[in-house]
Structure 1
Amino acid sequence: MTSDASAEPPPGAAPSAPRHAPLLETTGIEIVTDAQRTARPHHLFWPWFAANVSVFGMSYGSYLLGFGISFWQASIVAVVGIVVSFALCGLVAIAGKRGSAPTMVLSRAAFGVDGQRLPGIASWLTSIGWETSLTITAVLATATVFEALGWATGTLVSVLATLAIAGLVVTASVLGYHTIMRLQSVLTWLTGLCTVVFMLMTIPHIHWDAVAAQPAGSAQQMLGALTMVMTGMGLGWINIAADWSRYQRRSTSDGAIVAWNVIGGSVAPVVLVVFGLLLAGSDPELAAGIESDPLGALVTLLPLWALIPFWIVAVLTLVSGAVLGIYSSGLTLLSLGIRIPRPAAAAVDGLILTAGTIWVVFFAQDFVGPFQSFLITLGVPIASWAGILIADILTRRRDYDEAALFDRRGRYGSVDWTSVTTMVIASVLGWGLVVNGYADDAPWNNWQGYLLGPLGGKDGTWAYSNLGVLAALVLSFAVTLIARHPTIRRQEKQ
Structure 2
Amino acid sequence: MSTPKSGSLTHVEQRGIEPVPGNERTGHPAQLFWVWFAANISILGLPLGATLVAFQMLNIWQAILVAVLGAAGSFAVVGIVSVAGRRGGAPGLTLSRAVFGSRGNMGPTFITLLSRLGWETVNTATAAFVLLSLFGIIAGTSFSAKEVPGLTLLGIGIFILLTVLVSWLGHSAILVIQKWATWIFGALNVVVSVFLITHVDWTAVGSAPAAPMSAVVTGIGVIAAGTGIGWGSTGADMARYQKKSSKALHLIASSAAGAGIPLVVLIALGALLAAGDPNLASAGDPVGAIREMLPTWMAVPYLIAAFGGLLLSNHLSVYAAGLTTLTLGLRTKRIYAVGVDVVVTFVGAVYFMLIADNFYGPFITFISLLAIPITAWLSVFLVDMIGRRTYDPAGLMDLSPAGRYWYKAGVSWRAMASWLAAIIVGLLFTVVHGSGSDILFAGWLHDTWIGESGVAWVATFTVGAVTYALLGGAKSTGTGSRESVDNDRAGVLIKAGR
Q: TM-score, normalised by structure 2?
A: 0.89
Q: By how many angstroms is 1:338 displaced?
A: 0.9
1:103–1:363 CA distance, 2 compared to 1 (3 A): same
- The residue number in structure 1 matching 2:214 is 220
- Residues 17 and 91, structure 2, Cα contact 8 Å, conserved in 1: yes
Which aligned pairs between 1:340-419 and structure 2 lie closer than 5 A?
340-396=332-388, 398-408=389-399, 409-413=402-406, 414-419=410-415
Match of 1:204 among 198, 208, 211: 198
Q: Give the AA of the match of 1:297.
A: A
What's the CA shift string for 1:176-225, capped at 9, x where partnerless?
Answer: 11122222122101111011101111222122220122233223222221
- Residues 16 and 33, structure 1, Cα contact 8 Å, conserved in 2: no
- The residue number in structure 1 matching 2:128 is 139
- The residue number in structure 2 matching 1:29 is 17
- Residues 27 and 242, structure 2, Cα contact 8 Å, conserved in 1: yes
Q: Give the AA of the match of 2:13.
A: E
Q: By how many angstroms is 1:360 displaced?
A: 0.8
- Residues 90 and 241, structure 1, Cα contact 8 Å, conserved in 2: yes
Match of 1:266 among 260, 264, 279: 260
1:323–1:335 CA distance, 2 compared to 1 (3 A): same
- Residues 422 and 460, structure 2, Cα contact 8 Å, conserved in 1: yes
Q: Give the AA of the match of 1:92.
A: V
1:464–1:131 CA distance, 2 compared to 1 (3 A): farther
1-structure distance, mates of 2:381, 2:450: 28
Q: Give the AA of the match of 2:164.
A: V
What's the CA shift string for 1:308-332, capped at 9, x where partnerless?
Answer: 2221221111011111111111111
- Residues 369 and 442, structure 1, Cα contact 8 Å, conserved in 2: no
1:118 and 2:107 correspond: yes
- Residues 2 and 13, structure 2, Cα contact 8 Å, conserved in 1: no
Q: Which moved more, 1:147-156 or 1:84-93?
A: 147-156
Q: Give the AA of the match of 2:116.
A: S
Match of 1:103 among 85, 92, 112: 92
Match of 2:269 among 275, 280, 291: 275
- Residues 104 and 120, structure 1, Cα contact 8 Å, conserved in 2: yes
Q: Give the AA of the match of 1:381.
A: P
1:417–1:282 CA distance, 2 compared to 1 (3 A): same
1:113–1:305 CA distance, 2 compared to 1 (3 A): same
Structure 1 spans left out of the alignment, 5+ residues:
1-13, 456-460
1:102–1:72 CA distance, 2 compared to 1 (3 A): same
1:114–1:192 CA distance, 2 compared to 1 (3 A): same
- Residues 4 and 11, structure 2, Cα contact 8 Å, conserved in 1: no
Q: By how many angstroms is 1:273 displaced?
A: 1.0
1-structure distance, mates of 2:405, 2:188: 48
- The residue number in structure 2 matching 1:318 is 310
Q: Give the AA of the match of 2:158.
A: A
- Residues 132 and 322, structure 1, Cα contact 8 Å, conserved in 2: no
2-structure distance, mates of 1:162, 1:340: 26
- Residues 54 and 191, structure 1, Cα contact 8 Å, conserved in 2: no
Q: By how many angstroms is 1:40 displaced?
A: 1.0
2-structure distance, mates of 1:18, 1:155: 41
Match of 1:57 among 40, 45, 63: 45
Structure 2 spans left out of the alignment, 5+ residues:
483-498
- The residue number in structure 2 matching 1:10 is none
1:315–1:442 CA distance, 2 compared to 1 (3 A): farther
Q: Give the AA of the match of 1:261.
A: S
1-structure distance, mates of 2:403, 2:421: 27
Q: Give the AA of the match of 1:407.
A: D
Which aligned pairs between 1:474-489 and structure 2 lie closer than 5 A?
474-485=462-473, 487-488=475-476
Q: Give the AA of the match of 1:412.
A: Y
Q: By how many angstroms is 1:247 displaced?
A: 0.6
2-structure distance, mates of 1:237, 1:187: 20
Q: Which moved more, 1:304-313 or 1:20-29?
A: 20-29
Partner of 1:447, secondary structure, is strand
2-structure distance, mates of 1:100, 1:462: 38
Q: Percent identity?
A: 33
Q: By how many angstroms is 1:386 displaced?
A: 0.5
2-structure distance, mates of 1:180, 1:163: 21
1-structure distance, mates of 2:357, 2:32: 38
- Residues 131 and 155, structure 2, Cα contact 8 Å, conserved in 1: yes
- Residues 99 and 477, structure 2, Cα contact 8 Å, conserved in 1: no
1-structure distance, mates of 2:224, 2:47: 15
Q: Give the AA of the match of 1:136.
A: A
1:471–1:447 CA distance, 2 compared to 1 (3 A): same
1:486–1:387 CA distance, 2 compared to 1 (3 A): closer
- The residue number in structure 2 matching 1:253 is 247
Partner of 2:24, secondary structure, is coil
Q: Give the AA of the match of 1:183.
A: I
1:491–1:399 CA distance, 2 compared to 1 (3 A): closer
- The residue number in structure 2 matching 1:158 is 152
Q: Give the AA of the match of 1:54.
A: S
- Residues 422 and 479, structure 1, Cα contact 8 Å, conserved in 2: yes
Partner of 1:101, secondary structure, is coil
1:244 and 2:238 correspond: yes
1-structure distance, mates of 2:154, 2:50: 29
1-structure distance, mates of 2:227, 2:68: 11
Partner of 1:298, secondary structure, is helix
- Residues 384 and 474, structure 2, Cα contact 8 Å, conserved in 1: no
- The residue number in structure 1 matching 2:423 is 427
Q: Which moved more, 1:329-338 or 1:465-474?
A: 465-474
1:297 and 2:289 correspond: yes
1-structure distance, mates of 2:2, 2:40: 32
What's the CA shift string for 1:36-80, capped at 9, x where partnerless?
Answer: 211111011121000101233122221111112222222211111
1:204–1:299 CA distance, 2 compared to 1 (3 A): same
Q: TM-score, normalised by structure 1?
A: 0.90
